[in-house]
């Protein structure tokens, strides 16, 4: 990669007023939030079951695709090309969409996008909107803004509806209600879905889907305004694409008079042909299907078919800052498939809420802090929410090297705080002084051994679970091994003194 | 120029300027070594049709096959006791020549309304632009035999007529066959479904819960 300003430079700070904000700022450091979530055994059971189901299905449909590696390479290259040619492609998209009858708006950040969309909805005179699941609108907190403006928002994706009825927040990019099992979903519907038929409502998935169908049917058929995102935006033709399963997307994209689509600037594809790559990569990576039930593509407005007015809001909200980092910018290739969440050993145990952002899991750990800057909330803790096992990179359909970006962001975090005092840095400096001299090192080991002797009597496995402050920072999430009763250096010295070097049996 | 227009203009200019300052400068060559044509040139059509049937059945669509001369009979058989059938404006007359029920043609004399299409028990019969065998996907692009998007959306029962010469192997060939990508396009792979409850696919949410496919030829 070449060009672009390095991360965390003065140039970036000068533009800090346009950093991303919205529902992408973790309020709590990841370790604290994770501990809270780990206290819920039901959550872990639900997540384990769901993530294992989906990763097995993904593996099956990817395994039957012999050109998968070539598709991934093409997907990554197309997205890199988009990032390299973004200004011209955005202008091309704007021109094509406008020529087809759309109105294109630009939003620098979440607040500007919220205000734009709220004004557009107000302009229609409608007090209710139906919504297709969209990460961009989740990111900018659109529902909250519309509610404040007195506009009723009806989420129509089943999982979004569950989350909305439960007054909860999404915990997965693709399946926001992944943390609920069927029994819990039935309870939410029974308690909170207006007019639900309790006799017909069992915890069978088919019965739950039927309840959602009945509840939403009239809203679809009478809706005048819909809000969507887009999975892809084709620069060449001005076409928007939504990939979905239930048909709620088609309802929202087809029946209302006005459609407002909020689209991140990185969602572009140069040509219509490029969809041949992404329509193979996305469904297999997302729901583990050869193809999702419904994909809609629309270009501006078509007389007699679908909405009469189309507004497209192109959203920055921190994406240009992310683009400025040569290592981190690959996060903008993301097509929001969630495959990295489903294979992540950390996500599987803590769930999406621990990340404090609408983008959880491995991709969230690199996307949220880049969109907002490391200083926002507790976002600097997110790049540490990983074991760096690399499973996320292996499954990523656009080859985002998530571990590489995690390490890079950790480095940026450390570099940014070099001037501040830190117990860790003090400890390392002390250790370096001790280890620089053989006698000092031997003396320190002796002291440690003597200090640990009484502890060894108390612990069976030679490990301590809890040390006093300040060492408790280390043992809060790990066991600490006790210093060995005899050091290697002592053993070696004794052995040499007794002529052990000539004892051939000891050397094997 | 209104104030809103000015705000829009300045947002646009600022975003573009920020991207120009931030982006990498070198464009990227895209390696297209993935499969874009049938793996075996001139692969047997029969295999392709069998593959399409297999994939559609996997999505729990009902599939029937017939010779072109038997189309009307086969269609009437699939429709069974359905009281009313909706067809797009340009659907061939002979499709429903053996169907005894009521036929409503979109746009004849006026376009059908959402309420018309929401009538219980109603079915819609459309054609398609192309069908993709490997993924079991029917692509509708608003052509005369397919009509407006809401026709294949609001009724609970969709019957799609697919001619053998419309079947291609993979997604790349399927998209390449579309005459005009700027027409409203709907890709349909099985009946409406959701994976939102414990990540298992369940058929039947907002779109047609019954999808029948008549493969002709």
ipTM: 0.95
pLDDT at A10: 36
Give domain limits for chain B.
45-216
Q: Which of A258, A288, A320 is the last residue of a domain?
A: A320
Residues 6+ apart with CB under 8 A from A7: A324, A325, A326, A327, A328, A408, A412
Which letter does DSSP use for residue A143 in this model? H
A241 occurs within a structural domain: yes
Q: Which residues pair with residue B163 across a beta bridge? A: B216
Instruction: Report the percentage of chain A scoring pLDDT > 90.
Output: 79
**To the nearest 5 percent, what fractions of chain A are helix, strand and coil?**
55, 10, 35
A415 occurs within a structural domain: no
pLDDT at A422: 82
Pick the closest to residue A54 from A43, A46, A42 (CA basis): A46
Side-chain-facing half-sphere of A128: CA atoms under 13 Å: 14
Cα A248 from Cα A245, distance rounded (Å):
8
CATH of B45-216, one of 3.30.720.200, 3.20.20.370, 2.40.50.140, 3.40.50.10420: 3.40.50.10420
Pick the closest to residue A188 from A214, A216, A160 (CA basis): A160
For A201, the domain range is 30-320
**Mean pLDDT of the A40-54 span:** 92
Burial of residue A342 (CB within 10 Å: 0-12, 13-18, 19+) is: buried
B3–chain A Cβ distance below 8 A for any pair: no
Pick from B18, B29, B204: which is nearest to A77 by CB? B29
Q: How many helices (H) and strands (E) does chain A have?
A: 23, 12
Q: Which of A320, A349, A369 is the last residue of a domain?
A: A320
Cα B78 from Cα B64, distance rounded (Å):
8
Pick from B149, B175, B188: which is nearest to A305 by CB? B149
Do residues A328 and A408 touch, judged by C-beta distance below 8 A?
yes
A220 occurs within a structural domain: yes
Restricting to B residues 104-163, those with a Cβ less than 8 Å away from any Cβ of A are 111, 114-115, 118, 132, 134-137, 142, 148-150, 153-154
Give the CATH number, domain containing residue A52.
3.40.50.10420
Which is more confident, A231 or A482? A231
Cα A194 from Cα A4, distance rounded (Å):
53
Name the one residue in this structure whose structure tokens are 């909170």.
A192
> What residues of B are in contact with residue A220 (Cβ under 8 Å)?
206
A61 occurs within a structural domain: yes
> What residues of A are in contact with residue B150 (Cβ under 8 Å)?
254-255, 305-306
| Residue-wise pLDDT tens digits, A129-180 | 999 999 999 999 999 999 999 999 999 999 999 999 999 999 999 999 999 9
> What residues of B are in contact with residue A247 (Cβ under 8 Å)?
153, 192, 205-208
| Residue-wise pLDDT tens digits, A48-100 | 999 999 999 999 999 999 999 999 999 999 999 999 999 999 999 999 999 99
- Other beta carbons within 10 angstroms of residue A411's beta carbon come to 14
A197 occurs within a structural domain: yes
Q: Which of A320, A351, A370 is the last residue of a domain?
A: A320
Which letter does DSSP use for residue A235 in this model? T
How many domains in chain A? Answer: 2
Name the one residue in this structure whose structure tokens are 């579309």.
B178
Do residues A299 and A97 touch, judged by C-beta distance below 8 A?
yes
pLDDT exceeds 70 at position A507: no
**pLDDT < 50 regions, chain B:** 41
Phi-psi category of residue B120: left, alpha or beta, with phi > 0 → left and psi -120 to 50 → alpha: beta
- Is A443 in the same domain as A297? no
Both structure tokens of B118: 């929401």
A372 occurs within a structural domain: no
pLDDT at A5: 36
- Is A291 in the same domain as A436? no
A470 occurs within a structural domain: yes
Choice among A26-35, A333-342, A462-471 with the minimum mean pLDDT: A462-471
CB contact under 8 A, A119 and B198: no
């Amino acid at each position: 990669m070449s060009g672009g300003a390095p991360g965390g430079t003065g140039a970036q700070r000068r533009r800090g007023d346009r950093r991303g904000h919205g529902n992408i700022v973790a309020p709590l450091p990841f370790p604290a939030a994770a501990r809270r979530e780990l206290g819920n055994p039901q959550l872990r059971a639900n997540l384990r079951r769901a993530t294992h189901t989906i990763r097995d299905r993904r593996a099956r449909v990817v395994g039957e695709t012999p050109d998968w590696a070539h598709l991934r390479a093409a997907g990554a290259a197309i997205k890199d090309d988009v990032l390299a040619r973004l200004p011209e492609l955005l202008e091309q998209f704007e021109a094509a969409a406008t020529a087809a009858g759309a109105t294109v708006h630009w939003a620098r950040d979440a607040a500007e996008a919220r205000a734009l969309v709220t004004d557009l909805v107000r302009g229609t005179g409608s007090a209710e909107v139906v919504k297709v699941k969209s990460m961009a609108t989740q990111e900018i907190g659109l529902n909250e803004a519309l509610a404040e403006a007195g506009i009723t928002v009806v989420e129509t994706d089943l999982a979004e509806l569950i989350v909305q009825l439960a007054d909860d927040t999404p915990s997965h990019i693709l399946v926001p209600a992944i943390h609920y099992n069927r029994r819990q979903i039935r309870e939410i519907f029974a308690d909170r879905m207006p007019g639900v038929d309790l006799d017909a409502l069992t915890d069978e998935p088919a019965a739950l889907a039927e309840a959602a169908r009945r509840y939403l049917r009239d809203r679809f058929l009478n809706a005048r305004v819909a809000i969507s995102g887009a999975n892809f935006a084709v620069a060449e033709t001005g076409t928007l694409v939504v990939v979905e399963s239930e048909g709620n997307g088609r309802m929202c994209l087809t029946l209302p008079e006005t459609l407002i689509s909020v689209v991140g600037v990185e969602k572009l594809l140069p040509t219509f042909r490029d969809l041949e790559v992404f329509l193979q990569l996305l469904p297999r990576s997302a729901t583990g299907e050869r193809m999702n039930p419904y994909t809609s593509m629309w270009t501006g407005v078509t007389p007699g078919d679908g909405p009469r007015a189309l507004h497209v809001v192109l959203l920055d909200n921190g994406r240009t800052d992310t683009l400025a980092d040569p290592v981190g910018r690959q996060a903008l290739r993301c097509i929001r498939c969630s495959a990295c969440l489903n294979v992540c050993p950390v996500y599987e145990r803590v769930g999406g809420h621990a990340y404090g952002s609408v983008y959880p899991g491995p991709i969230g750990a690199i996307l949220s802090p880049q969109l907002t800057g490391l200083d926002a909330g507790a976002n600097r803790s997110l790049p540490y929410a990983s074991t760096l096992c690399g499973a996320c990179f292996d499954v990523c359909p656009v080859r985002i090297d998530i571990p590489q970006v995690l390490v890079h962001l950790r480095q940026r975090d450390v570099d940014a705080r070099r001037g501040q005092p830190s117990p860790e840095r003090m400890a390392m400096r002390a250790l370096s002084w001790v280890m620089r001299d053989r006698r000092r090192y031997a003396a320190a080991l002796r002291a440690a051994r003597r200090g640990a002797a009484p502890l060894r009597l108390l612990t069976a496995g030679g490990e301590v679970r809890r040390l006093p402050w300040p060492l408790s920072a280390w043992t809060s999430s790990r066991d600490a091994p006790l210093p060995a009763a005899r050091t290697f250096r002592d053993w070696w010295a004794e052995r040499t003194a007794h002529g052990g070097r000539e004892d051939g049996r000891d050397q094997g | 120029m209104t104030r809103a227009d000015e705000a829009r203009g300045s947002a646009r200019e600022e975003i573009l300027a920020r991207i120009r300052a931030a982006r990498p400068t070198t464009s990227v060559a895209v390696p297209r070594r993935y499969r874009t044509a049938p793996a075996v040139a001139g692969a047997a059509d029969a295999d392709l049709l069998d593959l399409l049937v297999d994939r559609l059945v996997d999505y729990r669509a009902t599939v029937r096959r017939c010779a072109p001369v038997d189309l009307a009979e086969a269609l009437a058989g699939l429709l069974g006791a359905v009281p009313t059938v909706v067809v797009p404006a340009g659907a061939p007359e002979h499709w429903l020549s053996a169907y005894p029920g009521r036929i409503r043609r979109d746009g004849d004399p006026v376009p059908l309304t959402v309420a018309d299409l929401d009538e219980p028990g109603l079915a819609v019969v459309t054609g398609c632009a192309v069908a993709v065998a490997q993924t079991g996907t029917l692509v509708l692009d608003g052509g005369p035999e397919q009509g407006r998007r809401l026709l294949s959306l609001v009724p609970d029962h969709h019957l799609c007529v697919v001619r053998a010469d419309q079947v291609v192997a993979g997604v790349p060939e399927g998209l390449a066959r579309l005459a005009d990508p700027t027409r409203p396009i709907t890709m349909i792979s099985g009946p409406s479904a959701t994976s939102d409850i414990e990540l298992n696919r369940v058929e039947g949410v907002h779109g047609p819960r019954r999808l029948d496919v008549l493969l002709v030829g």
